[in-house]
Structure 1
Amino acid sequence: MFKRSYEDGIERSRLTLKEEGASKSGITPMLYSVCFLCVFGSSLVHGYSTGVLNAPEFTIQDFYNKTFTERYNKLISISLLNFLWAFTVSVYLAGGMVGIFLAGYFANRFGRRGALQFSHIFAVLAAVFFGISRPLKVFELLIIGRFIIGFSAGIGSGVVPMYLTESAAKHIRGSLGVLHQLGLTIGILLSQILGLEEILGGVDLWPVLLIFTAFPGFIVSFLLPFVSESPRFLLIVKKDEKRATEALKAFRGEDHDVKDDLQEMREEQRQLQDEPPWTMKQLFKAKKLRFPFCFFVPCVGQQLSGINVVFYYSTGIFKEAGIPDDYLRYATLGTGVINVAMTIITVYLMEKCGRRPLLLYGMIGMGISAGIITICLNVKHVAPGLSYLSFICTLTFVVSFAIGLGPIPLFLGGELFKQGPRPAAMSFSGMLNWLANFLVGLSFPFILSGFKAFTFIPFLVVVVIGAIITFKYVKETKNKTYEEIAQIYYGNDEHKSLENGEVELKD
């Protein structure tokens, strides 16, 4: 035991020194290129599509109303208009659920690079539907386009983190893993800027605002063939060691010795062959994995917390709060700026403070902000000045989300699950995330209509429950090896059985 620990320590020290030497050389041009193409072509589009309907909300609703009136010679009812708008917003998420469910298949079928190219085809198709919707006076085409662009973004949200982490060296994988969330927040901000009435959010140009969704992916599709495929895909899936070696040298540098990287991938390939295949059924029946399932709580809470209410409907919320119409667009734009800035800061806070404290403090901050917003909405007629406090608390709500529930659920599962159950666990959590997002987007107009000034109460309840579960079950994983995490969640006996490849599938 002592000899093994000593040898492991020497090996870790050797790898650390090697990684430190690699870090001095910086990131290679190839890795820079892949990061840019992934974030610009997929992550940014995902965020852009999330927020693009926010600013021109009332303009597009007016298009629905006029189209319905011309078609049926009667005015559309308020309830039907609310449903159509909620469905237009939420059908994007339904497409995303289908896309992320199939992302793993496409990534293995076409490769990481090929899967992204494949997803961009659907982005261009969606732009066609957006472009012909108004000239043909068929608002249903806009809804179909929203589903298609959601499908494209769903594939990208599953493939991009995989592509980046598989291509990066160990010492920068975590940093690159956050780039997807950063690209998403930048996309939301970009949609808010271009959605301003004087830019593309006006009556005449809102179709162009939607068509722009396809522009990044269209450009990236022509550039992706010039970058390297994921080395892990080439070796482990395609079993092409020659191309994997060439890809590694491109990502690490021509002077870098890639023998250790190749050996690591060969070992991973051997472990995958030795382990039994993990299915969704086995995932839920394995007793040893039940404690790590607490990871699903922040994944679902990320969407049920109400954050997308701010991104989808902030214009309406600020108007209800009493913000003057001339300042609504700038209030909405402020949420995007804060979101991007805090996501950048969180890259530093993640390793400084740890996962668990940021989750807890973030949810507590969201709960306090939601409570104050509720109070302000209820007393705004008595004290009109509180409208601006409601605006400030909306920003603190976004700040609290950006340091906790925003970035952490994206990679927490990768730390809690081994290679075997990890794909199934991450696929399931991704579907839960998109499903929760879909339900919030679809139901919020009716929540707003029913709860009125108490709209944020359901989300307040969610973050309180999430904070309690996090405090009780989620353990800190910062700077811990898998062995240490396994002992925390599984215990020594379970950890030994996992290391021996034994999988408990009985209830």
Structure 2
Amino acid sequence: MANGNVIRSQPVGNKGSDKKFLKKITIISTFGGLLFGYDTGVINGALPFMSEKDQLNLTPFTEGLVASSLLLGAALGAVFGGRLSDSKGRRKNILYLAVLFFIATLGCTFAPNTTVMIAFRFLLGLAVGGASVTVPTFLAEMSPAEQRGRMVTQNELMIVTGQLLAFTFNAILGSTLGDTAHVWRYMLVIASLPAVLLWFGMLIVPESPRWLASKGKIGDASRVLRQVREEQRAKEELKEIEKSLSNESKTEKATLKDLNVPWVRRILFIGLGIAVVQQITGVNSIMYYGTEILKNAGFGTQAALIGNIANGVIAVLATFVGIWLLGKVGRRPMLLTGLIGTTSALLLIGIFSLTMEGTQALPYIVLSLTVTFLAFQQGAISPVTWLMLSEIFPQKLRGLGMGVTVFCLWIVNFFVGLLFPVLMAGIGLSATFFIFVVLGLGAIAFVKKSLPETKDRSLEELESYFRNYNKDINTDESIKAAK
């Protein structure tokens, strides 16, 4: 096709070719997740060098600003990225984001002072936020219902892989070039390479069939579905999509007012809750400041950089486990188990930091507990978070709904990133983690009370469930009243 949405050379209807093409689409599009992970993880090891040798001379507050300015940008990027992906298309939006990733990475790399660094970290955040919304949505819309959990979670795997690569390059560069001026610039510039690969890769990827259908391009949607499904399955799924779009025909254009419809409002409440829950575990205090936490516990800078690699390794391994579990276990029990595990690990970090301060064993205990924390976080909480956010909203509100909820996620993330170094400097490591323990208990209560199960339901079946939820509740109440 002239607009580049469909690949002419891709065989249609050949058994097995649909799965291979779907795998290629997943790998290419999740380079957005790899950039997300690298750009959020690289600051972990770069910060100590920015503060030394007459570089950026960061205080605890400006250190928090450098780390969290990306997160504030990500919050805005999530909102505008969701809207842009609804209007321009998921594929085209990812292409725009690849360009922004490249430009902002170079801006951070050559930043002459703290002000310029914060400005370009904010721009980089716009790209990260846009990717955090658009890539999971794109994958959810491209995947069959039975593979959606595994496909969407591939993005989470690429995020933690990006963070592991960041931690590894940080350790290598910090150990070999630690005495070299501006070593942190070498750490940052590496992210420009996957940005280029993402842009070229997306040129050969088709647009989401659900987005095409929502714009009235039924023929295009059918051709894409036949590229990623067997022939009969493609026909059945297209009918299901058309039926869903027909039910949404009253919604001319997705606006914030549409989020106030009772059944949509319930979805929004659940989405916002999931977003907040994922952040108040304190995961990004470890992903952004893991090196600083290990230094605070007693490691030297180089030992902390090397030890922090263990956090990246366990995050990747745990994500593989999470992908496997999503096909076996419900979303709700996974999230509850993850929250109980992370809250327990944080409680133990707080207790040992308080009772064993200054001992030689403490840094190793803290490292083992951060690894345990990340095993639960990346093996259960994070995969479920991004998957559920990508699947609970109806088609016409998916970009907007994802944008609003992920905006909230990044705002909470921003405050964690900004305040963590200030809290650690002010009240200490143990008291800071006790705060996260209290928040974790609140998260467990929310999931037990409010989270529905979404496993093994198509996107259209989930929409029907939420549409009819209030009716079912009212019917149950009427029956009880009659009795």
Aligned twin of 1:351: 327
**Preserved contact between residue 254 and residue 396 of structure 2 (Cα < 8 Å):** yes
Aligned twin of 2:286: 310
Aligned twin of 1:210: 188
Alpha-carbon spacing, 1:199–1:228, altered in 2? closer, same or farther (3 Å): farther
> Equivalent of 1:459, from 425, 433, 436?
436
> Equivalent of 1:245, from 211, 216, 222?
222
Alpha-carbon spacing, 1:163–1:445, altered in 2? closer, same or farther (3 Å): same
| Deviation for aligned residue 1:168 | 2.3
Alpha-carbon spacing, 1:447–1:361, altered in 2? closer, same or farther (3 Å): same
Aligned twin of 1:50: 40
Aligned twin of 1:38: 29
Secondary structure in 2 aligned to 1:455? helix
Alpha-carbon spacing, 1:149–1:423, altered in 2? closer, same or farther (3 Å): closer
| Deviation for aligned residue 1:407 | 1.5
**Preserved contact between residue 26 and residue 139 of structure 2 (Cα < 8 Å):** yes
Q: Give the TM-score normalised by structure 1.
A: 0.82
| Deviation for aligned residue 1:225 | 2.0
**Preserved contact between residue 315 and residue 332 of structure 1 (Cα < 8 Å):** yes
CA deviation digits over 1:268-310, x for unaligned, max 9?
A: 3222213475543453462784487244223112112211010
Q: Give the TM-score normalised by structure 2.
A: 0.86
CA deviation digits over 1:452-504, x for unaligned, max 9?
A: 131201111100111122223334443465489549953615589xxxxxxxx
> Equivalent of 2:159, from 176, 179, 184?
184
Aligned twin of 2:413: 437
| Deviation for aligned residue 1:444 | 0.9
CA distance in 1, matches of 2:288, 2:357: 25
Aligned twin of 1:81: 59
Superposed CA RMSD: 2.9
Corresponding position: 1:123 with 2:108? no
Aligned twin of 2:169: 194
Corresponding position: 1:369 with 2:345? yes
Q: In the alignment, residue 334 of structure 1 is paired with which amino acid?
A: A
**Preserved contact between residue 54 and residue 313 of structure 1 (Cα < 8 Å):** yes
Secondary structure in 1 aligned to 2:206? coil
Residue identity over aligned pairs, in percent, reads 26
CA deviation digits over 1:148-189, x for unaligned, max 9?
A: 111112111111112222222333222211111111111110
How many residue pairs get aligned? The number is 457
Corresponding position: 1:140 with 2:112? no
Q: Which has the larger radius of gyration?
A: 1
Secondary structure in 1 aligned to 2:199? helix
Aligned twin of 2:237: 261
Aligned twin of 2:379: 403
Corresponding position: 1:342 with 2:318? yes
Alpha-carbon spacing, 1:482–1:353, altered in 2? closer, same or farther (3 Å): same
Aligned twin of 2:70: 92
Higher alpha-carbon deviation: 481-490 or 300-309: 481-490
Aligned twin of 1:229: 207
CA distance in 1, matches of 2:475, 2:141: 26
Query: Which runs of 5 or more residues in structure 2 are unaligned?
Result: 1-12, 477-483
Query: Which runs of 5 or more residues in structure 1 are unaligned?
Result: 1-21, 69-75, 497-507
CA deviation digits over 1:19-47, x for unaligned, max 9?
A: xxx9983753332222111112x100001
CA distance in 2, matches of 1:495, 1:199: 68
**Preserved contact between residue 67 and residue 139 of structure 1 (Cα < 8 Å):** no
CA deviation digits over 1:289-343, x for unaligned, max 9?
A: 4487244223112112211010111111111112355531222110111111111
